[in-house]
Amino acid sequence: MDKSRRCTYRRGDDACRFAGADGATGTMNSIDRYIFRTTFGAFALIAVSLTLLIWVTQALREIDLMTNQGQAILVFIGMTGLLIPVLVLIIAPVALMVAVTYTLNKLNADSEMVVMSAAGISPWRLFVPFVLVALVVSLMVAVIGAYLGPKGLRELRTWAAQLRADLVTTIVKPGRFTTIERGLTFHIRERRPNGQLIGILIDDRRDPKERATFLAERGDILENDRGTFLVLESGSVQRREETRRDPTIVLFDRYAFDLSRFSGGADGRSLSARERYLWELMAPEPSDAAYTAQPGVFRAELHDRLAAPLYPLAFAVLAYAFLGTPATTRQSRAFALGLTILAVGALRFVGFGSTIFAAQNPSAVIVLYCSLVLGFAVGLLVVARGITIEPPRVITAAVAVFATRFARVAT
């Protein structure tokens, strides 16, 4: 054997050391790169697949942008695509857990885990590339939660406001009833070359306690610093309240119908907690009306954003703890895999529940962080003690008895 490839193994070393220029460091780097590349590749594939799948289901709910409102397919894809960062924020930790599980099963199926363990590579050393992948995913989740997610929601809000305002001037067809949003219907008799609308009817049922119907001979679109308005001239408004039998009719010479109010506008003070950047949640303005009205919602959103980057690390620790021990192809990993899914699901369920209850009770935040600490502690303890996750003897015995009886009945 060539001396440059001769392996001199000593028990207690982290790797089989090769004589020559490469040395142990080169050997371990190649293993790290191999595991990192396999895990990150699987994560990217799974994350993209799940994101596209869920994005399609969400996009189909907004298909009325093309059917009822006549928007182009690029506008439809652009608007619904702004939801992707929010989807990745939830999908990324789960995709990482699946990727770590896949890589560990692949290493065991190819007997690579057994070989590396026999070569003296400790479980902690083998865990390093998985931690590196988890750190990359955690950084991505942190950036999305702090900036990209809220930015996408803000852009979606602004884009929706512009499209709904433009509907009246460009999309609404003369002689057709057009529903701009649920409960708001427009109808015009004619559109003149200068953009003036003739014969306007607006049916507003957005308020369940009151229905308002506007009739006007003509109207013009007015845009200023306060928003976008449809200025109606020579008309009437009929309001019918739920508690009253007879409607009230008011004649007007000019009436400004606000087209921007129902689309939310772009004013930072009207932004919801999900649309705020992380630093805005950490230090909201005391005079902010939204924060004053719902401080609990802002608190829950803040801690949900702060805890989000910890979930990829926690999921990777749990997956490696339950599936990271070397095993032969004859040893079933079904029980360890099921326990991994159960642990990860329980941890995320507690996280979602804590975030919801934190809006009403500040102590729920403690449960959120305690659950993460518990997940890390259990996973690291299993790795440190080298515990092999196997089904209890009672379960294996019961399965064996059932298999034996089933075989007898079948024969």
Look at residues 102, 130, 124 and name the one whose alpha carbon lies nearest to residue 383.
124
Full-model pTM? 0.75
**pLDDT band of 229, cuts 50, 70, 90:** confident
Contact 147, 163 (CB under 8 A): no
The b-or-e profile of 16-44 (16+ CB within 10 A means b, else e) is: bbbeeeeeeeebbeebbeebbebbbebbe
- Of 119-123, 204-208, 240-244, 339-343, give the range with the top mean pLDDT: 339-343
Per-residue model confidence (pLDDT) at position 95: 97
User: What does the pLDDT read at residue 344?
Assistant: 96
Cβ partners under 8 Å of residue 29, min gap 6:
none
Predicted local confidence at residue 68, as pLDDT: 55
What whole-number distance in Å separates Cα of residue 321 and Cα of residue 186?
60
Q: What is the DSSP letter of 238?
A: E
- Judge whether residue 64 has pLDDT over 50: yes
Q: Which of 222 and 332 is assigned the larger pLDDT?
A: 222
> CA dihedral defined by 277, 282, 287, 291, rounded to 10 degrees?
70
Where residue 5 falls (left for φ over 0; alpha for ψ -120 to 50; beta otherwise) is: alpha
Mean pLDDT for the chain overall: 82
Amino acid sitting at position 128: V
Mean pLDDT, rounded, for 59-74: 63
Of residues 402 and 70, the one with the higher pLDDT is: 402
Model pLDDT, residue 16? 44
The CA angle 160-163-165, to the nearest 5 degrees, is 105
Going by C-alpha positions, the residue among 174, 83, 99, 171 that lies closest to residue 133 is 99
Inter-residue contact 320 to 149 (CB < 8 Å): no
pLDDT of 117 reads: 84
Please identify which residue in the block is written with the tokens 């702090």: 146
Query: Token match 């075989």: residue?
Result: 407
Would the pLDDT of 249 be above 80? yes
DSSP string, 120-174: T--HHHHHHHHHHHHHHHHHHHHHIIIIIHHHHHHHHHHHHHHHHHHIIIIIPPT
What are the tokens at 162? 């512009």
Mean pLDDT to the nearest integer, 194-208: 87
- Single-letter residue type at 354: S
Read off the pLDDT of residues 260-286 as tens digits, 9 standing for 90 and up. Answer: 654 444 444 468 899 999 999 999 888
Mean pLDDT across the stretch 50-61?
84
CB atoms within 10 A of CB 222: 13
Nearest to 163 by CA among 268, 68, 254, 56: 68
Average pLDDT (213-236) is 85
* Confidence band for 25, pLDDT divided at 50, 70 and 90: very low
